Structure 1
Amino acid sequence: MPAWDISPSGVDSVTSLVGLAMDDLAKDVKAYGTDAESAATSAGTISSGYCGDVPVGPIGVALALFVDKSAEDALFPGARAAKSVNGAIEATNHYVHGDLEQAATAQRNAEKAPDMKAILADARKKGADK
């Protein structure tokens, strides 16, 4: 196993900066969804003379399909950053407590890609609950 030389205050500083960037990214992803929804509802439809809710036209349907198919790509950077930050913090905590084996395990687990299918399922479930 390689030697470890972690600066907990350095890890804290870097993870704080990454957290700020993640906050900005979350705002952008939220705006992406809001803007796509606005565009879909503003795109209109080819039907006329309707009562009640405005029907969704072909452009709105295409935008909805695009957002659905690109959701994983839009959410991946934030999920990847969160997993990396959490892994760095967990590994550092194990290091501070002298458990280098657990620190190495936390580091290896953080390197794995996030499970986007589970993240999307959870996000859709939360959206359906609103």
Structure 2
Amino acid sequence: MYKVLTDCGTAAKDMSDAGSAMQKNLEEAASAAGTLTSQFGPYTSTAGLVGSALGQFMQHWSRDLVYIAKRTSSSLHGADQATRYYMAGDLEHAANAQGEAAKEPKVDMPGRGQTSHRTKGR
């Protein structure tokens, strides 16, 4: 059982690393995509169309990515705890650990209140 948890933890870490790299790459791509500059002054620049679209994409999906990471972490931690209790013969604590792991994770994004994934309006 511990091999399964270790393998799942490794896969979750890889997924987390990929999400972090995607966020960094999207930011770099958005800034490299160019800007729009006013021709008539005052001469200001704003993100170009591609940069703006990439920003909206990340803003839309970042909440779901954080939710997936929190859900995965909670599930793995709960499975580990429940397994340890079960192996020790403590079925009540094993059931409690499973119940805690099944609770809906809270996603707290910057600039927003804490909201569960299910109540975000989807």
**TM interval, short-chain normalised:** 0.7 to 0.9
Paired residue for 2:8?
18
Residues 29 and 75 in structure 1, CA contact (< 8 A), matched pair in contact too: no
Structure 1 unmatched runs, 5+: 1-9, 122-130
Note if 1:74 corresponds to 2:65: yes
* Cα-to-partner distance string for 1:54-89 (whole Å, 9 max, x where unaligned): 944243233223212210122333222211110011
Structure with a larger share of its residues in strand? 2
1:115 aligned onto 2:118: no
Q: Report the secondary structure of 2:24's partner residue.
A: helix
Alpha-carbon RMSD? 2.2
Name the structure, 1 or 2, with higher relative contact order (CA <8 Å, separation 6+): 1
Deviation at 1:23, TM superposition (A): 1.6
2:101 counterpart letter in structure 1: A
- Does residue 92 of structure 1 match 2:83? yes
Distance in 1, Cα, partners of 2:46 & 2:11: 35
Aligned pairs, number: 105
Unaligned stretches of 5+ in structure 2? 111-122
Greater helix proportion: 1
> Could you say which residue in structure 1 is the equivalent of 2:115?
none
**Residue in structure 2 matched with residue 7 of structure 1 by the alignment:** none
In structure 1, the residue corresponding to 2:37 is in which secondary structure? coil
Q: Give the TM-score of the pair, scaled to structure 2.
A: 0.73
